[in-house]
Structure 1
Amino acid sequence: QRQESQRRDMEERRQHILSQILLPAARERLSRIAIVKPETARQVEDIIINAAQRGQLAEKVDDAKLISLLEQMNEKTKKTTITV
């Protein structure tokens, strides 16, 4: 039960950080992605949070920046996919 409480607290802090970093349209897009591809949304959240912690974000992430990040992730995924 204590671990569950800690996990919830960490998730709440994570969502709070994201709400400060993402503009509403980007946050909405990311939440829709999380419904379909939760692991992808989690990876994007991690990238955004890490960039913010390192001071690499000069301004809040808007929808266009989020789309750009998703496209970059897609390109990396395509490069590692092997078709037979």
Structure 2
Amino acid sequence: MEDAELERIRKARLEQLKAQSAARPGATNGADQEQRKQREAEARQAILNQILEPEAADRLGRIRLVKEQRATDIENRLIMLAQTGQLRQKVTEDQLKELLNAVADTKEEEKIVVSRRKGWEDEDDDLLDL
């Protein structure tokens, strides 16, 4: 039943996008772009509501408060899994944690390396001797 509902949403969204592109072959203005972004966000949220259990959705919301990009990456991955039919049931909080750990393991942490030049203080001492 969930797969059929997801497929219905996808088809409706595809038809909506086709109608929009046929109606406006030229460039869109700012209001149209804002409306398009709003509709995309609503469609995205509808899909996430269907594939996430409430606890998992809450956790993803808390992650979004701290790391917006990581939450977006996870959402994109979940939506892709749902669209390809790889999700057979709603994602639980534990499954979301596993997905987060998998993403964290594959992503290299950014490190800041500070390399200091040796003898830097000696250069200042030379200037004082003048």
TM-score (norm 1): 0.92
Distance 2:73 2:98 in 1: 14
Which structure's CA Rg is the greater one? 2
Q: What residue in structure 2 maps to residue 68 of structure 1?
A: 98
Are 1:11 and 2:67 counterparts? no
State how many pairs are aligned. Answer: 83
Distance 1:20 1:82 in 2: 37
Is the helix fraction higher in 1 or 2?
Answer: 1
Deviation at 1:81, TM superposition (A): 5.0
**What amino acid is aligned across from residue 38 of structure 1 in structure 2?**
E
Q: Any unmatched runs of 5+ in structure 2?
A: 1-30, 114-130
Deviation at 1:77, TM superposition (A): 1.2
Equivalences for residues 2-81 of structure 1 within 5 A: 2-78=32-108, 81=110
Distance 1:83 1:59 in 2: 41
Hey, which bits of structure 1, 4+ residues long, moved more than 3 A?
A: 80-84
TM-score (norm 2): 0.61
Sequence identity (%):
39
**What amino acid is aligned across from residue 52 of structure 1 in structure 2?**
A
Aligned Cα RMSD in Å? Answer: 1.3
